[in-house]
Amino acid sequence: MRTSYWTGAAFVAAVCLTGPVLAGDFVNTGYFGDVAIKGYDTVAYFTRNEAVEGSPRYTYRWLGATWQFASAENRDLFAKEPAKYAPQYGGYCADGVSFGTVTTNIDPKAWRIIDGKLYISYDPGAAEGFEKNPSKLPDSKEHWSEVEQTLVTEKAGTDWRHAPR
C-alpha cells in the first residue's frame, strides 16, 4: 500500500513538473537565445513572397519565443492570427521532420508555402525536394509526433527542473 502511494505521488509530481514541456508547442530558436526562425519575418513569406529579415524594433512574444517583423503592420497581422503565419513544425527543418529527425539549423531563405502553410528547410535543395517529392509532406505529418517526443526529451534534459541534484 505504501509503495502505491509513493508511486502515485511520484507520477503526479512528474506530470505537474513536465506539463509545460509536454505542451507540444515547440519553436525553433536555434541553439541559443529565444528569437524564432533566426529573426526572419514570418508574415513576409505570405505578403511579399520572399524571406525578409525582421527587426528587433517590431517583435511579438508567442509560444515562449520572440518573433521579429520587418514592420509594425506585419507584427500586428501575426498577433491577430499567429497560427496562420507561423511555420509548420515550429520552424524546424521540414525535410528533416519528414525523416523523423530534428534539424535546428535552418536557412530562412530555404522555404516553401504549400497549401497555405509555411515550411522552412536547412538549405534550398531540401526545400525544393520537400515541395517536389509527393511523399515528403505526408511523411513529415506522420513523423512530427516522433520529432516532438525528441524535443520533449531534449528539453527535459536541459530543463533546470529535471537537473540531477
Mean of per-residue pLDDT scores for the chain: 84
Whether 92 and 143 map to the same domain: the answer is yes
Render pLDDT for 91-112 as a digit per residue (tens, 0 to 9).
Answer: 999 999 999 988 888 999 999 9
- Look up the pTM and report it: 0.79
CB atoms within 10 A of CB 91: 27
Whether 64 and 109 map to the same domain: the answer is no
Whether 107 and 151 map to the same domain: the answer is yes
Render pLDDT for 103-142 as a digit per residue (tens, 0 to 9).
Answer: 888 999 999 999 999 999 999 999 999 999 999 999 999 9
Q: In the chain, how many domains are there?
A: 2
Does residue 17 have a pLDDT over 80?
no
Whether 68 and 120 map to the same domain: the answer is no
In a domain, 163, yes or no: no
φ, ψ dihedrals at 133, nearest 5°? -85, 115
Whether 150 and 107 map to the same domain: the answer is yes
In a domain, 19, yes or no: no
Residue 110 grid coordinates: 530555404
Angle, helix 124-132 to helix 136-158, in steps of 10 degrees = 130
Alpha carbon of residue 2 to chain centroid: 42
In a domain, 91, yes or no: yes
Whether 92 and 145 map to the same domain: the answer is yes
In a domain, 135, yes or no: yes
Predicted confidence band at 51 (pLDDT cuts at 50, 70, 90)? very high
DSSP 116: T
Alpha carbons within 13 A on the beta-carbon side of 125: 0
Identify which has the larger pLDDT, 74 or 13: 74
The whole-angstrom separation of Cα 160 and Cα 165 is 10
